[in-house]
A and B are shown apart, each in its own frame.
Chain A
Amino acid sequence: MQTPPLAIHVSGLHKSYGKMQVLKGVDFAVAKGSIFALLGSNGAGKTTVVKILTTLLKPDGGKATVAGHDVVSKPEQVRESFSLTGQSAAVDEILTGRENLIMVAKLRQVKNPRQVADDLLQRFGLAEAAGRRVGTYSGGMRRRLDIAMSLIGNPPIIFLDEPTTGLDPEARIEVWKEIQSLANSGTTVLLTTQYLEEAEKLADRIAILHQGTIIVSGTLAELRRLLPPAKAELVERQPTLEEIFLAIIGNKEGVRR
């Protein structure tokens, strides 16, 4: 079979929980090696889309393929092709950071699980905390470990469901850097977010999910064109609180890696 150029293809996806219709015909496509942001408010159905694509939930109707395989009829093949970083950090709190990574490496049957774990601990700035139980980690550390666990086995597609929700600004920037470097190395990334800024900074294409359907999708430039052209106005540029915050604490921890 010829490999299609699309990493993910979704058409006419429907899903209801009881009488509540969550997805009412969702369509979108994600090109290989790109970052695709699914933008929407809380309860828009972003997580439902991710759960269907990651074979955790069956759709009521429509079709979805991941890496060329249908999520309903070929779930095993689909699971070979991706990694999921879900909304709540999926880490084992009683194990140490290193043990979490080794566990996933063994389950994915990669060679040298210990080596893989140590490399990732280094890369995500967790080497010092590697032998500590994850229960003692901060939110940002957990999220970094969670993402590190998703990278084991180098899956070609990564799903990140609200990867920066609940993180402080520094940790969020760390996660952004990782996502960017993943895409640079050819990994396809589908991320959901409720932060407009996040979609704007990271995504090659953005789709807005609202009331069960994709109401617009395209590149940032295309979305900008939907509004009347920008007018030049003289506005005094004030630093944002985030910029102030980061500038003040900037050298607190030095460089993380």
Chain B
Amino acid sequence: MSAHVVGNTGVMLGRSIRHVTRSMDTIITVTITPIALMLIFRYVFGGAIQTGTGNYTNYLMPGILLIAIASGVSYTGFRLFNDMQSGIFERFHSMPIARSSVLWGHVLTSLVSNAISVVIIIGVGLLMGFRTSAGVVAWLAVAGILALFTLALTWVAMIAGLAASTTDGATAFSYPLIFLPFLSSAFVPTDTMPGPVKAFAENQPVTAIVNTVRALFEQQPAGNDIWAALAWCAGILIVAYALAMRAYRRKIA
């Protein structure tokens, strides 16, 4: 049975990866906004922002990557919603296959397509002066945290894709996610923020994740941030998965 799941999921993954590669515009739209933000913050605001570190591109990079992932998962919701609307979801569910492979195909595709966006953005960042002393272990840790963040948000996207009744509903959930980095330590240090804003910024998941990734890139100890980041991602993942499964069971027999 489990070989069945793996084989079926592989076919589903192949299918939706083709959807990604045949509509490269989705990768472009996912990467263009973060890249534009990176340019604006680096070349317009950057000179006036005091971060206490030398290289502002380095400072920006983690937050930019999170923005890219937050907007990238909206396409996962979109692709799942389209499957539900066309008859193909029912076709798959009426076939003698592991039903879970239908959803997992979308989840794995989300991981792959977001990884592509992240690599592109890091590439542009390198051109703009992003530098890191991170070794293999630190890079793997960065990849792991970004993958966990992607997985958590992907399951949020699955809820939207399963429960939405319009295309807009299936994708709109990502807008507030895209703004979370602005209320965090992603672009400016939290010290200068007024009390309530600072309190929010310091206690929301993006700050913990940004600080962790930044520390890993700079070869600094990540301290408690890494545990906070992991706890946030795991928590969001568990809650989103449970809600997505509930929405899924409502849709199928």
Contact = CB atoms under 8 A, between A and B. Distances in A.
A86 B90 contact: yes
Contacts of A54: 94
A108 B11 CA distance: 11
Interface string A33-62: 000000000000000000100111110000
Interface residues of B, number: 22
Interface in B64-100: 86-88, 90-97
Contact of A84 (B91, B97, B252): B91
Given A84-B90, A90-B87, A109-B7, A99 B97 contact: no
A94 B91 contact: no
A79 B87 contact: no
A94 B252 contact: no
Nearest to B1: A76
B19 interface: yes
A29 interface: no
Contacts of A103: 11, 14-15
A88 interface: yes
Nearest to A92: B88
B94 A88 contact: no
A80 interface: yes
Interface in A91-134: 91-95, 99, 103-104, 106-109, 133
Contacts of B95: 79, 83, 104, 107-108
Contacts of B92: 107
B91 A90 contact: yes
Interface residues of A, number: 32
Nearest to B21: A94
B88 A79 contact: no
Contacts, number: 68
Interface string A73-90: 001100110111011111
Interface string B1-43: 0000001100100110011001100000000000000000000
Given A90-B87, A94-B23, A107-B11, A56 B94 contact: yes
Nearest to B23: A94
Q: Which 6 A-B pairs have the closest CB atoms?
A: A90-B87, A90-B91, A88-B87, A84-B94, A86-B87, A58-B253
Interface of B: 7-8, 11, 14-15, 18-19, 22-23, 86-88, 90-97, 252-253
Given A56-B90, A107-B95, 20 more contacts: A54-B94, A55-B94, A56-B252, A56-B253, A57-B253, A75-B253, A76-B96, A79-B95, A84-B90, A86-B90, A86-B91, A87-B87, A88-B87, A90-B91, A94-B18, A94-B19, A103-B14, A107-B11, A108-B95, A109-B7
13 contacts: A54-B94, A55-B93, A55-B94, A55-B253, A56-B94, A56-B252, A79-B94, A83-B94, A92-B15, A94-B19, A94-B22, A106-B11, A108-B97
